[in-house]
Structure 1
Amino acid sequence: MVQILITGANRGLGLEFVRQYLDRGEKVVATFRENNDISDLEELQRKYPDFLTLVPMNITSSDSRTKAFTEVKSKISGLDILINNAGMTGKRELKFGDLHADHMLEVFNVNAISAVLVAEQFSQLFKENSKIINISSWMGSISARENTTNFSYCASKAALNMFTKLLSNSLRDKGIIVIPIHPGWVKTRMGTQSAPIEQKDSISGMIQIIDSLTLEETGRFYDWQGNELAW
């Protein structure tokens, strides 16, 4: 049985990750911000009481990360997979001149800084062949960018990609695999209903990639269909 921790698991891609991993018999720890609606997670917990653990965690809070780690450590023996899924789009800055420092820092904190701090916090539970999966975006690809909007989101995902690369370099000798992955433009509250990809298809594609990862792929940037993307 694989043991998996998923952040931002109360809705969207995180919730679909939880569903699909539970459906195949894995043990899942689902984290979420306190005061968020977790009714879907609670329904899944009733269905899978021995396989799903719900743990509140504000990924931007050091105290909350520490408290969550202590709770998780008391309930599972180790982590096979950490999926840093929690994120935000933030306000879509329309053009240069609409930028606000406080907002930009918030997006960077949620999308990039907190992901690497969560990985560091839970690193005691990793073992050889554990995998850290950071949900990134092709919008964080510097070489592919031609748009003039979404300053904070694009830059934060580029920063997440760099953190992921550095993590992969740092953990390679321990046999831990680390990649960023682009889920595609998916029908979620963040992606909107205009998106062409269904959640179940994106998640099943990413799970197939996660299953097949070896140390040889660590530090590479993939999309949900297994295509390697340019930084």
Structure 2
Amino acid sequence: MYEDFGEILINGGNRGLGLGFVKQLLSQAPQKIFATYRSAETAKELLELATNNPRVLIPILADSTCEEDVSNVAKMVSQETNKLDLVINCVGYLHNAEHGPEKSLRQINANQLLESAKMNALPTLLLAKYFQKPLKHDQPSVFSAISA
């Protein structure tokens, strides 16, 4: 399934679905996997995989809700390759330690709703903005946003 994807970006490659994609794709012998992570504390397994696969897996520290960070990721990727075959955004969340999922309209908190939109929508839009060019080439490419 993944054999046609030589150069890949996984946004949020340090946990959950993103880390699962990184592991699965590594087993398919891609040319390069760029995997972003937001904090070294939550990226230990990703960083260990990168140590064991230094020519293939390139971890990049970035906050994907920060436009400057996403722009910098695009610049870093462009220094390694001029094309990507697959971009997957795995960044998103339902709740955090302070706010659980709402079960009624009374529980809606405007600030939490805005934070949720920022975390769940903005990374996909920024990735689309900054990775249009490397996805446009003569081979099929895929841009995907995924969330649990």
TM-score interval for Structure 1 and Structure 2 normalised by the shorter chain: 0.7 to 0.9
Letter matched to residue 61 of structure 1: C
Task: Classify 1:123/1:36 alpha carbon distance in 2 versus 1 (closer, same or farther; 3 Å).
Answer: farther
Q: In the alignment, does 2:117 pair up with 1:97? A: no
Q: What is the match of residue 69 of structure 1?
A: 74
Letter matched to residue 11 of structure 2: T
Q: What is the match of residue 219 of structure 1?
A: none
Residue 132 of structure 2 is aligned with which of 111, 123, 126?
123
Structure 1 gap segments, 5+ residues each: 138-231
Q: In the alignment, does 2:14 pair up with 1:10? A: yes
Aligned-partner Cα distance in 1 for 2:92–2:114: 13
User: Structure 1 stretches (4+) deviating beyond 2 angstroms?
Assistant: 34-37
Residue 108 of structure 1 is aligned with which of 112, 117, 123?
117
Aligned-partner Cα distance in 1 for 2:66–2:77: 16
> Which protein has greater RCO, CA pairs closer than 8 Å, 6+ apart?
2
Q: What is the match of residue 207 of structure 1?
A: none
| TM-score between both structures, scaled by the size of structure 1 | 0.56
Letter matched to residue 117 of structure 1: L
SS in 2 for 1:74: helix
Q: In the alignment, does 2:68 pair up with 1:57? A: no
CA contact under 8 A between 1:55 and 1:72: conserved in structure 2? Answer: no
Residue 37 of structure 1: how far off its partner (Å): 2.2
Residue 136 of structure 1: how far off its partner (Å): 4.2
SS in 2 for 1:79: coil
Letter matched to residue 130 of structure 1: S
Structure 2 gap segments, 5+ residues each: none
Letter matched to residue 98 of structure 1: Q
Structure-to-structure mapping, 1:150-165, within 5 angstroms: none
Task: Classify 1:74/1:23 alpha carbon distance in 2 versus 1 (closer, same or farther; 3 Å).
Answer: same
Residue by residue over 1:149-170, the C-alpha shift from the partner in whole angstroms, topping out at 9 and shown as x without a partner, is: xxxxxxxxxxxxxxxxxxxxxx
- Equivalent pairs, count: 137
Structure-to-structure mapping, 1:216-227, within 5 angstroms: none
CA contact under 8 A between 1:88 and 1:110: conserved in structure 2? Answer: yes
Residue by residue over 1:107-150, the C-alpha shift from the partner in whole angstroms, topping out at 9 and shown as x without a partner, is: 1111123212211111121124211011046xxxxxxxxxxxxx
Aligned-partner Cα distance in 2 for 1:114–1:40: 22
Aligned-partner Cα distance in 2 for 1:15–1:50: 18
Aligned-partner Cα distance in 1 for 2:133–2:145: 18
SS in 1 for 2:69: helix
Residue 42 of structure 1 is aligned with which of 22, 47, 51?
47
Residue 96 of structure 1: how far off its partner (Å): 1.4
CA contact under 8 A between 2:11 and 2:18: conserved in structure 1? Answer: yes
Q: Matched residues, percent identical? A: 31
Residue 35 of structure 1: how far off its partner (Å): 4.4
CA contact under 8 A between 2:92 and 2:147: conserved in structure 1? Answer: no
Residue 61 of structure 1: how far off its partner (Å): 0.5
